[in-house]
Copies of this chain bind each other. A is one copy, B any other.
Amino acid sequence: MSKTIHQRRPPASLTAAVDLVIFTVRDGQLHVLLIERGNMPYRGEAALPGGFVRDGEALDAAARRELREETGVAGDSLHLEQLHAYGDPGRDPRGRIISIAYLALGPDLPMPRAGTDASAAHWIPVSSILEGQLTLAFDHEKILRDGLERARSQLEHTTIAAAFCKEPFTIADLRQIYEAVWGLPLDPSNFRRKVMKTEGFVMPIGERRLPDVGRPAALFRRGLAETLTPPLTRSGSVDLQGGT
């Protein structure tokens, strides 16, 4: 942007898209929302939901709109952050398309309705993609891996794990988020201690949830803090899902 439009080499004209890596945790497993493509190219294959940025539309707004269109979720409630821009020439056979990827995290969401151009939308276990049982269209597997690494890192330094939980939630609910995203088992007792001593991570609401069996667990809401100081480190180096 430091050069004017009048110069030797004219700037390339291109199209911008947003793609969404939408994660949730369902019964202890990390899932990502994928659509089955209804149009060429890659018709019938699995891909991340997304769409083109419209005239006069901000990138964040395009991401929120696609999120709403593909999941039916009023975007305000979900955590959404820009992940990375992917712009290799040739990444899309239709032409020069730069994709701005976004990462969205949310609680177990209502089953997504099929999007406008997707023939179907499904929650897919992330492990099945990492293990190669399912391949994605375009460079979407790369985007997914980057999104996973970002999510894992965010769990260490911020309180967004709570964004995965439907309120109210228990400490065990929160721990299962960490275990699913990191692919590690955590010590329940030490995890509780860390969370409780981190000011503003969770707020007790003074009620309890009766499980099928075992002692009832106290219920919490999200706290006001956004960052974790000190961070919650994933030290145990087991990696059940083959990350980075």
Measured CB to CB, the residues of A under 8 A from B are: 1-7, 9-17, 19, 35, 37, 39-40, 47-59, 82, 84-89, 92, 94-100, 115-118, 138, 230-231, 233
Contacts and interface: CB of A to CB of B under 8 A. Distances in A.
Nearest to A1: B17
Nearest to A98: B16
Contacts of A138: 1
A228 to B, nearest CB: 12
Contacts of A115: 2
B100 A85 contact: yes
Contacts of A59: 85-88, 98
Contacts of A2: 19, 35, 37, 47-51, 115, 117-118
Contact of A89 (B3, B57, B116): B57
Contacts of A94: 4-5
